[in-house]
Structure 1
């Protein structure tokens, strides 16, 4: 049985080392708390930590929540959804999730598996016509675990394919060679989730956006959860994205249109409140059964790699506390720790300075886990 490698140093030590380099520190006194007073201490430390992170990394705006059991024990908005007009982040602010879209897609796939419409061993070519011959033995399990060995539709520079049509993107990637044999190792790419979109739509008979929203957000309105592949669309409540990619400083992200074929890769948008409700449904088996969730979170057995990754989910081990989650564009992340029944949601609309997102996620987690 594969094991998730444990981070041997204390998370506090690791995060102290990292955050010292960029000018702020992880608050102390986060050990073994159980009563309400100690919980309040944790939350105060976390509040300070978030404020320092926002100042040092330069997150324009943040929406953040911590859930324990059925309770939301901390929910906070910081900063601005739009800097130019000083529009504060609010409960109505919608954040693009970027690659954090992928766990929602994975849940959708496992709901189809649970209902007997798919299996992990099905070949992608059973559902998607016109694939190159070299792709035809790739199975759904390889797409979810990023072990397909397929070339990346996004290429080495995602800006290269902005404004590509689906046919242009397909023509380009179909000409590329395989990177390695299926199942061999982990290599994150967007082609895997483009194919999953095609499979979901074929099997469900619905557009991806309708399938995900109808099944995972039955009570949400259209303004609080939606898919969009076009950053140029005028959408009420959507946070403006700011990144340092172009000039090394905070700038409005380059408007782009990836096309709907990229929706399963990075197209989901959501408010914090709707994300909180989704987390509750996931942890209480209202999206998929406990057995399906456990199957989704099972480590994939790569033939030539020790990578700890499940089916669409990253797996972390903080001093023997196993967590599941994902992140997007260094701007968003989600972690859930089943043993402690704790989940963490972090949504932002960009950042000004490069930073280590894993250290941030681990630091926040270590406070809440009492490490």
Structure 2
């Protein structure tokens, strides 16, 4: 009888703790939605290998006041790069790619100054390659006047490096475009098919797919932003507008995926459970920063742009479009995903406060990255 009462008491305590945490997360989300004027938010939390929280807030479609639900699909923008990083690490585990191998090992007909750039330097944005985004329409992301991938690639190859390879950091989309070409050359299939086979199916992602504003995506949350300029004129008060953006299909290894917070949570669980990468050492390698020519660490891990390498509660993650973010705390067995439909909402600013609802010491951790 005493054991039974003890178990009941424990269950009640756990339930009460979960309710208190959920309420604390609600408070943070509601506060930030009001302050940042975010129409809709979706959140998922993974703890000890399980989804312990999945919640939706506000509206996905402002025009028709369609509520955000668990199956609402959000553009995740540059968070796509972490999927590309995992794809490359999978090929490394298979012995088909080496981090320190020059790209000329895998791709032919490259300019001389490109040939010694390594796979690792692409992953960590220290290649010096010119940014293909400068060739696209800056407003819509349209492929622009060059009209074809072939013309864009030839233009890139004819453009000088921005700096000596390995000497500086410069975030750009060309790095991941080239990684996509390597994936396709080695696997003999499209990178989209490779992602589907080796990641989406393995992690059982039901609502993760490539696409942009041109595509018909079920349960899609359009992206919005507040603007003060319309038709070349400044208005007195900013106004919410629907964003239109294209991700040309050949460039979608850098930003082209759409997903839900639950799908991304399940992807993280599969990643940490050895279903996507077989060796813990591969995961550690991916989450470690690259190095400049002089041996100092870069700001980027391999495919992952947020690397809080502090002594306590280290975290790795990525953000996209200034509107979606995830953080994984490997030592704490915790991960948080926040997706919004507002460009400029910067959920990066409050995601650690959400993590702190589960492990309070996280918000007290040294904010300085430790090299």
Q: Which stretch shows the higher mean deviation, 196-205 or 269-278?
A: 269-278
* Equivalent of residue 272 in structure 2, options 283, 293, 309: 283
Secondary structure of 1:45's aligned partner: helix
- Partner in structure 1 of residue 198 of structure 2: 215
2:283 is the alignment partner of 1:293: yes
Q: Do 1:161 and 1:169's aligned partners in 2 also have CA atoms closer than 8 Å?
A: no
SS at match of 2:275: coil
Structure-2 change in CA distance of 1:245 and 1:211 (3 Å): farther
**1:75-132 per-position Cα deviation (integer Å, ceiling 9, x unaligned):** 1011112111111111221111100000011001000100111110122223233322
Task: Kindly indicate which of the two structures has a greater share of residues assigned to strand.
Answer: 2
SS in 2 for 1:50: helix
Matched, 1:199 2:175: no
TM norm structure 2: 0.83
Structure 1 residue 363 displacement after superposition: 2.6
Higher relative contact order (CA 8 A, sep 6+): 1
- Please tell me whether Structure 1 or Structure 2 has the larger radius of gyration of its CA atoms: 2
> What pairs with 1:350-369 in structure 2 (closer than 5 Å)?
350-351=342-343, 354=344, 356-369=346-359
Q: Show structure 2 runs of 5+ residues with no match.
A: 1-12, 230-237, 362-371
Give the 3 Å change call, closer, same or farther, for CA 335–137 of structure 1 in structure 2: same
- Rounded to whole Å, the distance in 1 between the matches of 2:347 and 2:200 is 28
In structure 2, the residue matched to 1:238 is: 220
Which residue among 275, 293, 300 is the counterpart of 1:309?
Answer: 300
Give 2:8's aligned residue.
none
Shift of 1:213: 1.4
1:22 corresponding residue in structure 2: none
- Once the two structures are superposed, residues 272-315 of structure 1 have per-residue CA deviations (whole angstroms, 9 ceiling, x without a partner) of 22222111101111110211101111221223665432111121
- Is 1:109 the equivalent of 2:91? no
2-side partners of 1:283 and 1:222: how far apart? 15
Q: What secondary structure sits across from 1:315 in the alignment?
A: strand
Deviation of residue 361 (structure 1)?
2.5
Give me the whole-angstrom Cα distance separating, in 1, the residues matched to 2:202 and 2:74: 19
Any conservation in 1 of the 2:324–2:346 contact (CA below 8 Å)? no
Q: How does 1:180-199 map to 2 (within 5 A)?
A: 180-199=163-182
User: Distance between the aligned counterparts of 1:317 and 1:52, measured in 2?
Assistant: 29
Q: How much is the aligned-residue C-alpha RMSD, in angstroms?
A: 2.3
Deviation of the 1:227 alpha carbon: 1.1
Query: How far apart are residue 335 of structure 1 and its match?
Result: 0.6
Partner of 2:339: 347
Write the distance in 1 (CA, Å) between the matches of 2:330 and 2:204. Answer: 28
In structure 1, the residue matched to 2:152 is 169
- CA drift at 1:342: 0.1
Query: Does the CA-based 8 Å contact 1:308-1:316 persist in structure 2?
Result: no
Contact residue 50 and residue 269 of structure 2 kept, 8 A = no
CA gap 1:99/1:174 in 2 versus in 1, 3 angstroms: same
The C-alpha deviation readout for 1:163-194, integer Å capped at 9, x for no partner, is 33313432433333212222223211100000
The count of aligned residue pairs is 333
Q: Which residue of 2 aligns with 1:321?
A: 313
In 1: Cα distance, 2:114 partner to 2:78 partner:
23
User: Contact conserved, 2:206 with 2:263, CA < 8 A, in 1?
Assistant: no
Match of 1:61 in 2: 40
Deviation at 1:319, TM superposition (A): 6.5
Name which of structure 1's ranges 308-317 and 355-364 shifts more when overlaid on structure 2. 355-364
